[in-house]
Chain A
Amino acid sequence: MSSLLEVSGVSVSFDGFRAINNLSFAIGPAELRAVIGPNGAGKTTFMDIVTGKTRPHEGRVLWGDPPVSLLKMTEAQIARAGVGRKFQRPTVFEDQTVDENLTMALKAPRNPFAVLRWRRAQADADRVAALAVEVGLGDQLPRKAGELSHGQKQWLEIGMLLAQEPRLLLVDEPAAGMTLAEREHTTRLLVDLAKTRAVVVVEHDMEFVRRLNCKVTVLHEGSVLAEGSLDHVTKNPAVIDVYLGRG
């Protein structure tokens, strides 16, 4: 299976502290993957590197087929190439309506001139409405995002991600702050999504990871400690030592 994203030998350090140390990672075009690890294992930095926010000092990050390097692209170019990211805390544009938030995220030409000429076609309106329904905000379209509840903002952000139609989704702790029912909804959605695209879930919550029922990558001190099913990695003594052993 050719991989969609291939990270190899990547290192990055901040003021001498090696946040990522010779990390290698690969994911296929339609795969669900959970990344776990203790605080400071480099999970967020890993996502920063893939999305172009942080530049690694060495190593390569290849994307798609034929593979192109993501290292020379800006965040916006990477996003347009098909990498979507959901932040740990919901980040939506609170001064704007749900409708505007979703419209902005819709897959469409992104350069200023095209956006200036852009007119909402019926298809766009339908797509926005459908997305809103999909994430449970069907009746909230004219409301300002700032007035939504925490959970609703999470859903709106996921809706925006879907509107972007990414080929790879990076999701940072999606279950944080969610009720049980919302978690189940989220699990179903992520598993569904992974049928058509690659999804990487960074998560702390073991119970949530177990529900995802997918391959797990354990990070520790900036490198991959173990990889495999959750049951497989939780039996790994090294993992128990650094991660579970502490709990």
Chain B
Amino acid sequence: MTRAFLMRNPSVLWFLLALSLFTLAVTLLSEAGMGVLSTSFVKTLGKTLCLCLVALAMDLIWGYAGILSLGHMAFFALGGYLIGMWLMYARTEEIVVAALSSGPLPATPDEIRQGIATQIFGVVGASDMPAIWAQAHSLPAQLALVLIVPGALAGIFGWLAFRSRVTGVYLSILTQAMTLALALYLFQNDSGLRGNNGLSGLQNIPGLDGVPQETVSLWFFWASALALGLAYVVLSHVVSGKFGSVIRAIRDDEARVRFLGYSVEGYKLFVFTLTAMIAAVAGALYYPQAGIINPAELAPIASIYLAVWVAIGGRGRLYGAVIGAAFVSLLSSWFTGGRAPSVNLGFYTVNWVDWWLVLLGLSFVLVTLYAPKGLSGLIDAAQGLRVPDRKGAALGPDDGALMEQEGRE
């Protein structure tokens, strides 16, 4: 990290400062400290950090490279599934070994495997360990798979989609279809991932029976904060250099980039795969805090929400994605958690559990129409930045190009 890089990107320092202060504050206020914040709220905050991380990935692919992927929450969930497999396997193994040890004979490895399989898959009426669980006993292997599987899936899908030059909304629909296909596949009982039951009990970390949840939740909070901070620095570095220049150029006018000699497809594939892997890591941190994962998490709508967060935060700037994800997801859990006070209009009582989505949908339309810079526009306004006057023309001919108002001076 050169000093020049930080000079050119002062937001990185501010971001890291804010993140460390936040982490410190949460740590002090948690039940392990002063006990102001409940463990479940610490978990919510930790999960929010993971959502910020996946929003960073979304911002890279959409805000910078101009590809509106509606599939990144699928990679996020896939990451959760892959780590969940180890969590569930190892946890069940502990239980099964304990249960078998009371028998007259010491259990054979086969019996243990069989016992685990029955425990895990009894709920879908199967008792055999599916082939995809072959590595589930090994944490390092499964951690590697967290990167490999979503990376490979994104790589194959991206290679197919980009080489046939599918762009714009067509690509968005195609990614949405991919997500739908994956979700439908996982909904089947014989997918090997427990159908619509999903994986559960993920908050119980194997080998950490003696550690109370308030400590575990804090550890995950720190890990999430660390991952977010690291990703922020690395991605800031990536987008501020020539690579960032090229992908922003691809967003605004990919044909021109081709004539400069850059392989547009290669770059898109690189960014798509990289962001898929980041999303998977975020998911792998998120679901142990959530405790349960099921195929509903992959619904196409989740990926669209991701785009909503980034758009509301302001795309094309990393802190925008983080602000958007944190703001909208926390607000959303506040409203849907029933904690927001109802509004009595006299003739009708607005119950936010029912009306929050309406509010979100409409405010999203308003943001798209009137404030394309999203919440980051407020920061720009505070800094006195203006936008170039381009008489309403976008900054490039492509679908993903920035709009006039989104360009920073």
User: Quick one: which of B354-409 are within 8 Å of A by CB?
Assistant: 388, 390, 395-396, 402, 407, 409
The one of A79, A94, A144, A164 that contacts B396, using a Cβ cutoff of 8 Å:
A94
- How far, in whole Å, are A112 and B409 apart by their CA atoms in the complex? 27
Contacts of B395 in A (CB 8 A): 94-95, 146
The one of A51, A77, A94, A116 that contacts B252, using a Cβ cutoff of 8 Å:
A94
Instruction: Tell whether, in the assembled complex, residue B243 and residue A103 are in contact, meaning their CB atoms are under 8 Å apart.
Output: no
- Contacting chain A: which of B193-201, B253-261, B342-350? B253-261
Instruction: Tell whether, in the assembled complex, residue A93 and residue B242 are in contact, meaning their CB atoms are under 8 Å apart.
Output: no
- How far, in whole Å, are A111 and B253 apart by their CA atoms in the complex? 18
Residue of A nearest to B163 (CB): A74
Instruction: Tell whether, in the assembled complex, residue B261 and residue A118 are in contact, meaning their CB atoms are under 8 Å apart.
Output: no
Interchain residue pairs with CB less than 8 A apart (9): A75-B258, A77-B261, A77-B263, A79-B260, A85-B259, A93-B396, A115-B242, A118-B242, A164-B261
Secondary structure call for the B interface: helix
Instruction: Tell whether, in the assembled complex, residue B243 and residue A116 are in contact, meaning their CB atoms are under 8 Å apart.
Output: yes
9 further interface pairs, Cβ-Cβ under 8 Å (given A80-B261, A87-B256, A146-B395): A53-B255, A74-B263, A75-B259, A84-B259, A103-B242, A104-B245, A104-B262, A111-B266, A147-B388
Known A79-B259, A103-B245, A105-B260: A112·B266 in contact at CB below 8 Å: yes
| In the assembled complex, B51 has its CB within 8 A of some CB on chain A | no
Residue among B238, B243, B409 facing the most chain A CB atoms (10 A cut-off) = B243
Instruction: Tell whether, in the assembled complex, residue A79 and residue B388 are in contact, meaning their CB atoms are under 8 Å apart.
Output: no
- How far, in whole Å, are A105 and B253 apart by their CA atoms in the complex? 14
Instruction: Tell whether, in the assembled complex, residue B246 and residue A104 are in contact, meaning their CB atoms are under 8 Å apart.
Output: yes
Instruction: Tell whether, in the assembled complex, residue A110 and residue B262 are in contact, meaning their CB atoms are under 8 Å apart.
Output: yes
Q: What per-residue 1/0 map shows which CB atoms of B258-273 lie under 8 Å from chain A? A: 1111111011001000
| In the assembled complex, B241 has its CB within 8 A of some CB on chain A | yes
| In the assembled complex, A244 has its CB within 8 A of some CB on chain B | no
User: Quick one: which of B324-350 are within 8 Å of A by CB?
Assistant: none
| In the assembled complex, A178 has its CB within 8 A of some CB on chain B | no
A→B interface (CB under 8 Å): 51, 53, 74-77, 79-80, 84-85, 87, 91, 93-96, 100, 103-105, 110-112, 115-116, 118, 120, 144, 146-147, 160, 164
Known A112-B243, A160-B260: A146·B388 in contact at CB below 8 Å: yes
Contacts of A146 in B (CB 8 A): 388, 390, 395, 407
Chain B: minimal CB distance from A81 (Å):
9
Instruction: Tell whether, in the assembled complex, residue B238 and residue A95 are in contact, meaning their CB atoms are under 8 Å apart.
Output: no
Contacts of B270 in A (CB 8 A): 112
Residue among B245, B256, B407 facing the most chain A CB atoms (10 A cut-off) = B245
B→A interface (CB under 8 Å): 238, 241-243, 245-246, 248-249, 252-253, 255-256, 258-264, 266-267, 270, 388, 390, 395-396, 402, 407, 409
Contacts of B263 in A (CB 8 A): 74, 76-77, 110-111
Chain A: minimal CB distance from B166 (Å):
16
Instruction: Tell whether, in the assembled complex, residue B242 and residue A96 are in contact, meaning their CB atoms are under 8 Å apart.
Output: no
Contacts of A53 in B (CB 8 A): 255
Contacts of B264 in A (CB 8 A): 76
Ranked nearest first, the 9 interchain pairs of A and B with the lowest CB-CB distance are: A79-B261, A75-B258, A80-B261, A112-B270, A76-B263, A95-B395, A93-B249, A100-B245, A94-B395
Contacts of A111 in B (CB 8 A): 263, 266
Instruction: Tell whether, in the assembled complex, residue A91 and residue B407 are in contact, meaning their CB atoms are under 8 Å apart.
Output: no
- How far, in whole Å, are A77 and B246 apart by their CA atoms in the complex? 16
Known A104-B246, A116-B238, A147-B388: A93·B262 in contact at CB below 8 Å: no
Contacts of A147 in B (CB 8 A): 388
Instruction: Tell whether, in the assembled complex, residue B261 and residue A110 are in contact, meaning their CB atoms are under 8 Å apart.
Output: yes
- How far, in whole Å, are A84 and B256 apart by their CA atoms in the complex? 11
Contacts of A164 in B (CB 8 A): 260-261
Contacts of B261 in A (CB 8 A): 76-77, 79-80, 110, 164
Residue of A nearest to B409 (CB): A144
- How far, in whole Å, are A93 and B259 apart by their CA atoms in the complex? 13
Contacts of B249 in A (CB 8 A): 93, 96, 104
Residue of A nearest to B4 (CB): A120
Contacts of B409 in A (CB 8 A): 144
Contacts of A116 in B (CB 8 A): 238, 241, 243
Chain A: minimal CB distance from B71 (Å):
21
- How far, in whole Å, are A94 and B262 apart by their CA atoms in the complex? 18
- How far, in whole Å, are A79 and B258 apart by their CA atoms in the complex? 8
- How far, in whole Å, are A95 and B243 apart by their CA atoms in the complex? 15
Contacts of A115 in B (CB 8 A): 241-243, 246, 262
Chain B: minimal CB distance from A5 (Å):
16
Contacts of A104 in B (CB 8 A): 242, 245-246, 249, 260, 262
